[in-house]
Amino acid sequence: MYLNRRTALKLTGAGMLGAMTPGLSFGKKEEIIIGHNSNQYKVRMNWGMLDAGQNPVNNCHEMVEDAKGRIILLTDETKNNVLIYDKSGKLLESWGNSYPGAHGLTIGGDGSDQFLLIADNTRSQVVKTDLKGNVIFKIDYPKETGKYDYPKQFVPTETAIDPNNGDIYVVDGYGLNYVIVYDQHGKYLRHFGGKGPADEQFNCNHGVLFDTRKGQKDTLLITSRQDNCWKRFTREGTYVESIDMPGSFICRPVLRNNNLYGAVYRSTSEANEFSGYIQIVDKKNKVVSTPGGSQPSYKNGKLEEQKKQDPMSVFMHPHDVYVDVDENIYVAQWASKKTYPIKLERV
C-alpha cells in the first residue's frame, strides 16, 4: 500500500521511520533526506508542480538544461510536449503538440545556436528542432542498414551527439536494439549492436551518452536495461566493458563532473507502481549512493543486488534525471499518475 509522507509520519514518527530505513532521514521541519555517504539530498516533491488544467503532463520522460540555465522537460502529453522551467520550478514557456511518443531528449550546439533532438517512438522518428520547437530536419527509420523492413520496427528511445564532430548516435531501445550513427545533417553513416545476449548486443538499449571524463577517450555508454547494466563501446562500435547494477532496471546514463547518474524505474524484486530509485556511480564505476534504494554494498569486488528501500514512496518509476551545476538532481517519472518532476536538493 502507498504510504505517503503525512500518513507515514502520523503512524510511525520521523525518528522511528528513519531508524528503520538506512539512507532515509529527516532534517529540520521534517524534511525528507535520501541517499548514502556524501551524496544525500533533500526531497522537493512539489518543485515542478503546475496547473494540470493549463499545462498537463502524461509520462515525463527526459530533461536537459539550456545555455540560459532553463530546465527543459519532455512529456508525451500533446497539449504541451515541452515544458521549460527556471531553477525554482516556475514555468517559463511551453510548446509542442505533435509528439505522441515523445521519449528521448538531447540538447546540442552552443549559445543561441542550441538545438534539441527529440526521439519519438510512436512516430518512429528523431526530430531536430530549435529551442522554440521549429523543425530543422527529421531522421526516419534506418532502411539503409538493411535490418529494417518497415518504419514501425524502428522505435528510438535516445540520442547522443559526438562532441568531436557532431555525429548523432541513435539507440533503438524499443525496436531492434541497433545503434545507428548519422552525421550532423542526418545522413546515415553506420550501425552496430542489435538485440541479443552477446557483449556487443543489447536487451533494451534505452539510453546513450558520450563519456567525456578523463581516461575514457570519448567512449560511449549505452544502456542494456533488461540486463541491468550500462555497456561501454568505442565510437566505432567495439565493446569495451560493462558497468553492472544487479537488480536495477537502469535508464540512460547522465554525466556531471566525475559521476554518472541514472534513473531506475524498478528493481528486480519489486515491480509495483511505487517502484524505483536513483543510482550514482563514481569515476571508478562504483555505485556510491542510491537515493530511494538500498545502500550499495560490494562483495569480492561485485555490487550486490539492490532494491527499493523507501517507505515514504518518494518515487514512482523514475525515468530520467538531470543534474545541475550545484549537483541537484531533477527527476522525471514514467507511469507516475501524471505527476510533475521532483527536485533532489544536494545536502
Beta-carbon contacts of 152 under 8 Å, excluding residues fewer than 6 positions away, are: 124, 141
**Low pLDDT (below 50) residues in the chain:** 1-21
Phi then psi dihedrals of residue 154, to 5 deg: -100, 115
Domains and CATH numbers, the chain: 5-290+306-323+331-346 (2.120.10.30)
pLDDT for residue 18: 39
Nearest one of 247, 179, 244, 245 to 209, comparing CA atoms: 179
**Count of helix runs (H) and strand runs (E) in the chain:** 2, 29
- To the question of pTM greater than 0.75 for the whole model, the response is yes
pLDDT of residue 176: 98
Give the pLDDT confidence score for residue 313 in this predicted structure: 81
